[in-house]
Every structure is written in structure tokens, then in C-alpha cells.
Amino acid sequence: MRQGEGIADASRIYLLPSFFTAANLFFGFLAMIRCIQAKYVAVSSSLSHDYYIQAVWCVLLAAFCDALDGRLARLGKKESLFGREFDSIADMVSFGVAPSLMVFFLVLSPTEGYPFFREVGWLIGFIYLLCGGVRLARFNVITHPALLQEERGHDSDFLGLPIPAAAGVIVSLVLVLNSYDLNHWSLLLPPLMLGIAYLMVSNVPFPSFKKIDWNTRTRLQTFVVLFSVFLTIFLCREFSLAFIFFIYVGFGTLRHLRRLRQRRRR
């Protein structure tokens, strides 16, 4: 393959995957607008809560689009370096800037809220944003096509907490706090954000679920259980979403600790 042909192939834009990546970016941008409206435009606390809830759902919709674009690219064998970089840029906005802005306006405000966070609030938000950027850059490097399969590692796991899951933990907790007027518990968000930021740049492996596709088979009992779980999530979506994201983070962390303990015993 000639050099010009290789560059053209790497920069090729495939319609459906790029469409969902653009939708991811759109919902992330819309979440930022809703956070700004909740802080500076809302005339009442109830309207402010509504704006924050809308911002949360925008981030979750962005995560849904982010899950679809990669699967569509792999399903149609239309993966490209352009799509990989475009996806990372969209993720940085939707799962990096938007959650940081949300928590900053809710808890870490330099003019209102808790006195301690008036001085260090911006730093906590930036640490999360920095770790999210490092996480995305490391992911692009270790999954680059130029690396051999042995150097990339196992496709069944992510190295470090994926930034969509990190954002999901934060915004799902914000959804619970605003839906049930539990803002006095919002002090949990800054330490949680720092812990999530650390997991993103750690070496803890988290399940990727990339092997689940249209050809994946399951037993009848498993299908019924999974469908019941999804129905419960829909009916109790405020608590269920937070529960699922925390289970995902806890499962990956505890599995990693158990593997470390087994290695030490050996």
C-alpha cells in the first residue's frame, strides 16, 4: 500500500459510527449548557434541579451513543484512526468536561456553597479532568494498530476505569441527589471524584464487554433474569443506574485486589 493510500484510509469517515460519535459530542455539549442554565438562569431551586437532571440524562445519552459507535464500527469492520481520535475528543467533552462542570457548580463553587471548596474546588475538578485526558490518551496508545497483539494486552478488559463509566458514577449520584432533594449529601461528590480520577489512571482491569455481540448466546434462564434486571432499571432508574455503576466499579476493584492477594500467596 502506498503512503497516500494509507493516509486516506486512516482518515476515512464512516457514516454511522461517526454519526453516533457526533451525537455523543452533541449530548455532552448540551449537558454543559444545562449545567450553566441551572447555575445562572434558573429562577427557582426546583427549576435548577430540573436542569441538573436534564444534564445527567444528556451525559447518559452520550454514553449510550459512545457504546454504539464502537460496536457499529467493529460490526461493519469500519474502524479507522480518524474514528478513534474523534471518539476520544467527544469523550473528553461528554465525560470529562461536563461532569467536572456539573460537580463544580453543585459543590465546588468559588462564590457559594461550602467555604473549604471555595479555594480548592477548581483543583478537584481539574484533577478529574486531567486523569480523564490521560486515560483516553493511554487507551489510544495501547490499542493502536501499530502495536502487536501481545503488546496490546487482553481485549476482554480495560486498563483503568473507562471514562464513560467514571462519568456515569458521578452523574448517576447527582441524579439521585437532585431527584430526591438530598443535596446535603453532595459533600460525597468531591472525594468520590478524586477516587474515580485515581481509578482511571490506575492499572486496575475493568470488564469491557466487547465480546458481547449479536452472535452471543445465552440460556433461557439467564435471558429472563437479564430482561427482569433491565425492566427494574427502567422502573427504578434513579437508584438503579447509580447501583449499576457502583457495582461495576466495585467488581473491577475487588477482582483486582483478589488477584493481587492470590499472586502474593503464590
Residue range 65-79, pLDDT digits in tens: 998 887 777 776 666
Task: Give the residue-averaged pLDDT of 184-200.
Answer: 87
Indicate the number of domains in the chain.
Answer: 1
**Residue 186, pLDDT score:** 75
Q: Write phi, then psi, for 37 (nearest 5 degrees).
A: -65, -40
Q: Which of 12-26, 42-56, 138-152, 156-170 has maximum average pLDDT? A: 156-170
pLDDT at position 170 over 90? yes
pLDDT at position 2 over 70? no
**Residue 10, pLDDT score:** 53
- Looking at every residue in the chain, the average pLDDT score rounds to 81
**Residue 1, pLDDT score:** 45
**Residue 242, pLDDT score:** 87
**Residue 33, pLDDT score:** 95
pLDDT at position 153 over 60? no
Range of the domain at 8: 3-265
CATH number at residue 34: 1.20.120.1760
